Chain A
């Protein structure tokens, strides 16, 4: 009975994080983008610096009419936002934020495989949306999404495999337990590859070719309105949280910090995740969009070889330091 309660409480906590953190990232994006572009941004809703703008946006989305195009495939069209959003909730369950087994939703033995596998499922949502909309722009967006996923899934997996090799385990908790500070320079190439490939998988700028608004309106999400559109947006922000959390756990040492790792470990995790989320927003504001051929070239001629080199380096160092 106590076990059931424990599991329920943990899942509830993860769900709360899932509801709050993406909105915080969204609000931060409003503000950071405004400051970097030398404008004010939304300032009125809620009084203090427009903090309630996101709430207002949410209310606006729920009031809009839920339109399904006449030629669309109704069921697939309506199911797509859920398929896009739910995988990120599942991934969040397995990310540890503090030391020990008390600070993770559910302990997954093959954690690295679990998070990467489930994250890959989210793309199916975009593909379903693009095909079921019966719209040429949507279809183009979905095609670009699929091509991008196929290209960037491999370097992401290889980079994660390098960390798993270094730690000698595929459990996220085990990787954190084995972490030493000198892994940071050792795995830095892998970390960069993982982060860039993750950005591409989330279709964030500069990898936003699938939703390029100046060419194909909004890609796979063109026909969506109201709450379903909001769910796709929420999936993007949840994706940022998950990607930054995963990069933190795999490459930046998660709850390890210069001091206070025992009691305040979760603060270190949150801090590192927040800094990475800021970097994601920063890159969006400051980089132009990559063309489709540049996207593919970056993945196949830069990221894949770099990831393979990182794996080779990891293997060599691992053999050398073996007692």
Chain B
């Protein structure tokens, strides 16, 4: 009731969408298809490459929502670094060309449950938070670098710092784990 009321007030509707909204939906469908292919393909490296398409599609979605900075960071971190790391790992394990029969694990049901639960939680949170907020695509960009930076370092600086401490802890943990124990191999580490 409140939703319909608010929509009627602001003049935005789900009917008669604009060009940007149609593009957003189409890119979303393509991204979803790439994501599904990522988890269903039997060829390991193809999965990583489909992941590139899915993450790139997400970046385009950010762009369409005028969040330019987030979009480029998405490309820089995920496409440029995380996927390269992934491919590096796959090549080290000599991922074969063609289908890998053992690429399918027996955890399909559990994975589906977790994925559905995560999706439901995310959709619920996002819908609840931004119920009737519409982004004005015509006016000045609301996701430009300046705006993002100001919001991040004025209003959300404490979570930001907490996250960086968490990442530092993960980094230190990785270094500790990768070091050989001194009593096991003396003089080598």
Contact = CB atoms under 8 A, between A and B. Distances in A.
Given A71-B97, A153-B81, A147 B145 contact: no
Given A73-B97, A131-B45, A120 B88 contact: no
Contacts of A124: 52, 79, 83-84, 87
Contacts of A243: none
Interface of B: 43, 45-46, 49, 52, 68-69, 72-73, 75-76, 79-81, 83-85, 87-88, 90-92, 95, 97-98, 141, 144-145
Interface residues of A, number: 34
Chain B binding surface, main DSSP class: helix
Contacts of A71: 97
Given A73-B97, A150-B85, A170-B145, 6 more contacts: A108-B68, A109-B141, A127-B87, A131-B95, A146-B84, A169-B145
A117 B49 contact: no
30 contacts: A71-B97, A73-B43, A73-B97, A76-B46, A108-B68, A109-B69, A110-B68, A110-B69, A113-B73, A113-B76, A117-B72, A117-B73, A117-B76, A120-B75, A120-B80, A121-B75, A124-B79, A124-B83, A124-B87, A127-B87, A127-B88, A127-B91, A131-B90, A131-B95, A132-B97, A142-B91, A143-B88, A146-B87, A150-B81, A153-B81
B49 to A, nearest CB: 7
A114 interface: yes
Contact of B49 (A110, A128, A150): A128
A143 B72 contact: no
B54 to A, nearest CB: 14
A86 interface: no
A139 B46 CA distance: 16
A150 B72 contact: no
Nearest to A123: B84
A227 interface: no
Nearest to B70: A110
A71 B95 CA distance: 14
Interface string A215-257: 0000000000000000000000000000000000000000000
Nearest to A113: B72
A185 B145 CA distance: 28
A25 to B, nearest CB: 24
Given A76-B45, A131-B95, A142-B91, A113 B84 contact: no
Contacts of A169: 145
A309 interface: no
B84 A116 contact: no
